[in-house]
Structure 1
Amino acid sequence: MTEHWHNLTALELGRRIDSGKIDPVDLAEYYFDRIREADPEQRIYVRLTEARALAEASAARDRARAGTRRGPLDGVAISWKDLFDTASVATEAGSRLFEGRIPTTDAECLQRATRAGLVCLGKTNMPDVAFSGIGVNPWTGTGPNPFDDKIERVPGGSSAGAALSVARGLAAAAIGSDTAGSVRIPAAWCGLAGLKTTHGVISLEGAMLLSYTLDSIGPLTRNIADANALYSILSGRPSADLQGATLKGVRILRVTTQFDDVTDPAINNRISDALALLADAGAEVVTGPVPALDDLDALTRDHGSPAAIEACMMYGEAMKARPGSMYAPIEKRILAAEVYRAVDAAALYRGMARLEAEYLSQTAGFDLVVGATQPEHPPAIAPLLENVEAYLRATMMSISLTRFANLLRLCATTLPVGLLDGLPVGLMLMAPAHQDGKLLRLSAAAEQALAPMNA
């Protein structure tokens, strides 16, 4: 029976392919049928790669029959954000500035996935050059959040279509990017798990950048086990051993600085409920401040953000040559970086390095630093398109908590902790750079402890 394949995790699908219960070609066609039915306006997938997918699925079927599968996800079909180069297929980063841009080779991470046997379904929607945490794109349309069937709410961004492709059962998993929360935000608002990897662990070669110092690549998945498997494939590193993962003896800091200032009290209460389950599972949970976060907020307020400065450096001249080729609020945010001086940039990058060291000192002795992934529920789409100030406020709200992990070069996950007023809430777990494996293992243990909230 195929009617429930979209509810299975990527690894479950892989196991059924391995046992002969699922034909990879049937699986790819199943997803394409669902996509055509659920996304006729192409607000989730901006373009499909059907011929490529069916050829890849056919090869995966041959390997499965011959007993030569390349790994646990060989033959599993996933989606790719429209900033990863795909040979001979338009890759436009959600922007009219790059309309008709057709690369000749795949991004390195897509090459790795293809060698592992993964099937590429197509390219998912995103805002211009990934510069939005809410995921709105007036050029291509914005797929609505799947948890409200009365009001069209944002899915989160910038990996908007990526999250929707998984949440709506149109892909087994999705690959996105995260510059200030762009994997974790839509994962949290769409009830998924999301992994922000350490910057540089997964190659950015062939990815259209927003910030070359902050961008990271990561999966959006139904669970941590899938994220772990994809992390290994895309990075070329061993997957974390999730067997027997436990929270016993794990020290967790629930951070109050910045987080308590902006988070809806009802969401904070849900985070408290989640942390109580982690404590029941053996973790020691401590609540306290991290002053470096206040200092980091002040630093970026005074000297700008790396994302805006670097995007302006890379795209500013092209944007000015083609005014109106980006959504106006995004264009304005990027070009506003021109006011910053060399002194500002020097102060910003030196300050970030200093505050990274201070953060690590202030959180030493803790295995995880945690808090809400999103401080508010996803807002409605229509008012944001009607009012620039509302759009900008929502954008800044969406990245207000997630951005710290990028600016401090951390790795992070978000895990669903059930619904509040019918909308998902996410718990963010952060660890120092290059502790991705440890983070995944502890996230798997936390996921198990949080299962009652997601039943």
Structure 2
Amino acid sequence: MPAQPFTALAIGEAIRRGELDPVALTRQCLTRATDSDAVFISLTEQRALVEAEACAQRQRSGTLRGPLDGVPLAWKDLFDIAGTATTAGGKVLGKTPAERDAEAVRHTAGAGMVCIGKTNLTEIAYSGLGLNPHYGTPHHTPPPTSSEHEHESRNENEPRAPGGSSSGSAVAVAQGIVPAAIGTDTAGSLRVPAAFNGLVSYRPSQARHSRLGVTPLADSLDTIGVIASTLEDCLAIDDTMRGSAPLVRAAAVPEQSVIVLDAGCLDDPRVSRAVGDNLEACASRLKDAGFHIVRRRVASVADTLEAITRHGWLGAAEAYTEYRALLEGPDAEAMDPRVRKRLEAARQMPPDSVVSLYRLRQALKTRLREELAGATLLTPTVAHVAPLLAPLEADPEHFSEVNLATLRLSMVASLLDSPAVALPSGRDDDRQHTSLQLSGPCGEDEALLRVALGASSALTA
């Protein structure tokens, strides 16, 4: 694939026209994946070539299965792929190969997509930074300079955290290995790596997808989704993972769309200057495009953040319950110490806090729906840009602090099961990416997606 973004839908169209050989493309993807550093945990080379050859035969006979037939795709190593172990980013799970594909994998294969392999992640998907001591950490790659005269800072070329937990999926797309990759999101694990790598992601409402064949972290919070370079790719593949043909969605009419810019998030001193300034600039561009931008505090967002601060993270309690037997068994010492420490900390979470969070969750979901009243919420995706990697690896306490700060804003949509779209919003002085998030009430995915398509078009025009 060329260095410039080559989207999944563009690849599919080129294959349909006979302008691109899916077998040659697949070989190129496999070569790049093999040459990459810590991006993939395993490759499915034989399967990929068989699927690509089958696509080539369908192209010759005029029987392609749809707009994504022959398009390469990578999967976070939480998804079962028949004949491969699902490691969940560690050394203690997945000791035997999966017998069958996860349902989402099966649906994409049925649409002709080509499975390249399984990407790296934080062990059991339990961190927003993407570090992995077992398979290495895929490095976040800064964007290219727009000019040879552009200022070059002291820190801009130092390795950065890739974002997690879907680190390998994001880096695989950012490095042009595949046009799109699949991840999961429990507290921000799609949106954070997309934000750090200048990509697009879509966190669906949980009920939108089957998670059959996906290793869990926190059952009431986990969802699956896509990371790509365009929202159109994310949505086409999301439809495919549900077993549907990709829908053609009309973007919302800007003049009929209200976007609420949460002033509470922008006024928060924990939001970096670059993130805030770039969000304001994007809001101004959306207003110029015709969207109605309303700046005000959204009480349900503030109350959700306060509930998490007071009671703790619900996902921590669910993750501890999920992996308690592992923590108490002989394999615990083989886990990433950072992950093990975070799981152990949840052991002390008071039962009344857990129950309070479940109760508050339902009330806050209702309040958000009432507050927005058909509008779309606009916030930062993450309060800061990708942090330097070396200090995170060297200091466990620093890692813990930065991890919580990284996930703080994205946890809101996760707790409220809000559909959310992360879009690039700009860069800071070190050429690091910033990101904005558009979200809506639980279950109102299609309304959100129409607004997000319109906003994405306005911001990239």
Normalised by the size of structure 2, how large is the TM-score?
A: 0.93
Distance 1:245 1:91, change over 3 A: same
- Separation of aligned partners in 2, 1:133 and 1:27: 32
Partner of 1:52: 47
Q: Which amino acid aligns with 2:433?
A: P
Instruction: Name the residue aligned to 1:189.
Output: 196
Cα offset, 1:444, TM superposition? 1.5
SS at match of 1:450: helix
Aligned partner of 2:357 in structure 1 is 348
Uncovered stretches (5+) of structure 1, i.e. residues with no partner: none
What do residues 188-228 of structure 1 show as CA deviations (whole Å, max 9, x unaligned)? Answer: 11011100011121111100011110111110011011111
Deviation at 1:97, TM superposition (A): 2.4
User: What is the deviation of 1:72?
Assistant: 0.4
**Equivalence for 2:104:** 109
- Within 5 Å, give how 1:48-447 maps onto structure 2: 48-98=43-93, 100-147=95-142, 150-237=157-244, 239-243=246-250, 245-261=252-268, 262-321=270-329, 322-366=331-375, 368-421=376-429, 422-447=431-456
When normalised by structure 1's length, the TM-score is: 0.94
Letter in 2 for 1:249: Q
Check conservation: 2:265, 2:379, Cα contact below 8 A.
no
Question: Which letter maps to 1:427?
Answer: L
Identity of aligned residues (%): 34
Q: Note the C-alpha offset of 1:335.
A: 1.9
Q: Letter of the aligned partner of 2:367 in structure 1?
A: E
The answer for the alignment partner of 1:15 in structure 2 is 13
Could you list the runs of 5+ residues in structure 2 that have no partner in the other structure?
A: 144-155
Kept in 2, the 8 Å contact 1:241–1:441? The answer is no
Take 1:161 and 1:407, find their aligned partners in 2: how far apart are those partners? 24
Deviation at 1:109, TM superposition (A): 0.5
Shift of 1:247: 1.7
1:31 alignment partner in structure 2: 29
Q: Give the secondary-structure state (helix, strand or coil) at the position aligned to 1:195.
A: strand
Residues 85, 98 of structure 2: 8 Å contact kept: yes
Deviation at 1:266, TM superposition (A): 2.5
Large movers: runs of 4+ above 3 Å: 236-246
What's the secondary structure of 2:293's corresponding residue?
strand
Q: CA deviation at 1:355?
A: 1.4
* Alignment check: 8 A CA contact 2:108 2:243 kept: no
Cα distance in structure 2, aligned partners of 1:228 and 1:434: 15
Change (3 A) 1:74 1:300: same
**AA of the residue aligned to 2:409:** L
SS state at 1:96 partner? coil
Q: Give the drift of 1:243.
A: 4.0
167-176 or 435-444: bigger deviation = 435-444
The alpha-carbon deviation at position 365 of structure 1 amounts to 4.1
SS in 2 for 1:200: helix
In the alignment, what sits opposite 2:153? none
Residue identity opposite 2:395 in structure 1: N
How far does the alpha carbon of each residue in 1:276-317 deviate from its partner, in whole angstroms, 9 at most, with x for none?
Answer: 111111111111112222322232233332211111111112
State the AA in 2 paired with 1:125.
N
How far the C-alpha of 1:329 sits from its partner, in A, is 2.0
Given that residues 259 and 401 in structure 1 are in contact (C-alpha distance below 8 angstroms), is that contact kept between their aligned partners in structure 2?
no
Mapped to 1, the partners of 2:53 and 2:350 lie a distance apart of 55
For 1:272, what is the secondary structure of its paired residue?
A: helix
